[in-house]
């Protein structure tokens, strides 16, 4: 069971449409951009099971449904899905290795949509190393909810474009409207620029992205936010947060 905490309302009065997890995922399935893999509607011929898009869509819908029953402490927001992580699982900051942990955190089964050996992602490893010590309900999301890649290489990462960011902002706003967290934690400069522009209410916190030498700073900042002990691999300050 995940511990709960009173919400700090976030003003989203300019977002008036009524959405549900089902309608949200339905819209997400229809999102299309050139050189961007949509894990909820596209199937990778190399790594995916036959029913991978359906599995990823259903897992996300179930996770949103379950998260909506809690007083969400925060949404951790990254830039976009990566080819070793979210492209495969359909979940932000989550690779094959941490898929079960992500589902267990919300008490729901999350079947693996890929085949073959499990693939690990360094950013996912770092995020889950600290998230596993956080008792509070935390939802993971990105500014752009698809996997943007180079035109000639689907197994690569690229920054999303301004047009892709604009589309992603609407989905981000809907996630925040659905879950109404106490605060938003932007991971990295790209995410922070978008979140601060959209939500000028003082509930946005920026932390260092763990990639490109940022691991130590990221872990220290998150440990400080959640009053954890010094982050060291293998040390669980609050027990298993996903149990």
Condensed to tens digits (0 to 9), the pLDDT of residues 179-204 reads 999 999 999 999 999 999 988 766 79
232 pLDDT more than 90: no
The answer to whether 83 and 157 are in contact (CB under 8 A) is: yes
pLDDT at 242: 32
Q: Is 70 helix (H, G, I), strand (E, B) or coil?
A: coil
| Residue-level pLDDT at 190 | 95
Domain ranges of the chain: 21-225
What is the CA angle 128-210-227, rounded to 5? 60
User: What residue has token string 């941490």?
Assistant: 98
| Chain center to CA of 35 | 21
When the candidates are 3.40.470.10, 1.20.210.10, 1.10.287.1770, 3.40.250.10, the CATH number that belongs to 21-225 is 3.40.470.10
- CA 56 to CA 89: how far, in whole Å? 6
pLDDT band at 17 (very low <50, low <70, confident <90, very high): low
Among 7-21, 56-70, 92-106, which is the least confidently predicted range? Answer: 7-21
Query: What is d(CA 70, CA 196) in angstroms, rounded to the nearest whole number?
Result: 24
Give the residue carrying structure tokens 């522009």: 197
Sequence-distant (6+) residues with CB within 8 A of 175 are 24, 64, 75, 139, 141
């Amino acid at each position: 069971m995940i511990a709960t905490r009173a919400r700090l309302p976030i003003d989203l009065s300019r977002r008036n449409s009524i959405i549900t997890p089902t309608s949200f995922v339905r819209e997400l399935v229809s999102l299309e951009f050139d050189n961007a893999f949509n894990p909820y509607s596209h199937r990778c011929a190399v790594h995916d099971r036959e029913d991978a898009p359906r599995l990823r869509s259903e897992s996300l819908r179930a996770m949103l449904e379950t998260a909506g029953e809690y007083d969400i402490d925060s949404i951790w927001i990254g830039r976009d899905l990566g080819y070793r992580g979210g492209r495969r699982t359909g979940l932000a900051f989550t690779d094959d290795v941490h898929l079960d942990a992500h589902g267990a955190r919300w008490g729901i089964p999350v079947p693996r949509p890929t085949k073959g050996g499990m693939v690990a992602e360094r950013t996912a490893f770092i995020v889950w190393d600290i998230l596993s010590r956080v008792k509070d309900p935390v939802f993971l999301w990105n500014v752009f909810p698809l996997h943007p890649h180079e035109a000639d290489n689907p197994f690569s990462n690229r920054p999303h474009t301004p047009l892709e960011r604009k589309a992603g902002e609407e989905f981000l706003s809907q996630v925040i409207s659905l879950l109404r967290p106490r605060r938003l934690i932007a991971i990295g400069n790209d995410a922070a620029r978008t979140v601060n522009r959209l939500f000028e209410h003082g509930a946005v916190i920026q932390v260092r992205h763990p990639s490109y030498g940022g691991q130590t700073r990221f872990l220290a900042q998150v440990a400080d936010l959640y009053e954890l002990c010094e982050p060291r691999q293998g040390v669980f300050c609050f027990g298993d947060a996903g149990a």
